[in-house]
Structure 1
Amino acid sequence: MFTHITAAALLALTTQAPAASMHQVQLSPALSQQSKALVRCSAAFALISYGQDIGNEAALKWPVLETRGKEFFVRALAQLMDETGLDREGISALVGAEAQRLTDAGETEKVMPACLIMLDGSGL
Structure 2
Amino acid sequence: MFSHFLASALVLSAAAQPAPLASGATGADLPIEQQTALRCATAIAIATERQRTGTAGNEDWPDLLENQRGREFFVRSFARLIDDTGLSREELALRGRAEAEALAADNAMLDAVMPPCLLMMRASGL
Q: Into which bin does the TM-score normalised by the smaller protein fall?
A: 0.7 to 0.9
Q: How does 1:4-19 map to 2 (within 5 A)?
A: 4-6=4-6, 8-9=7-8, 19=17
Q: How does 1:78-97 map to 2 (within 5 A)?
A: 78-97=79-98
**Aligned: 1:48 with 2:50:** no
Give the superposed CA RMSD. 2.9
Question: Unpaired segments of 5 or more residues in structure 1?
Answer: none
Q: Which has the higher helix share?
A: 1
TM-score, normalised to structure 1's length?
A: 0.79
Runs of 4+ residues over 6 Å off in structure 1:
none
The alpha carbon displacement at 1:64 in A equals 1.7
Which residue matches 2:32? 33
Amino acid at match of 2:113: V
TM-score, normalised to structure 2's length?
A: 0.78
The alpha carbon displacement at 1:10 in A equals 6.7
Which residue matches 2:62? 63
Q: Identity, % of aligned pairs?
A: 38
> Which string of whole-angstrom CA distances, capped at 9 and with x for unpartnered residues, describes residues 13-60 of structure 1?
8xx686526x14648893111111111111111111111111114255
Question: Unpaired segments of 5 or more residues in structure 2?
Answer: none
C-alpha distance in 2, partners of 1:49/1:32? 26
Change (3 A) 1:11 1:53: farther
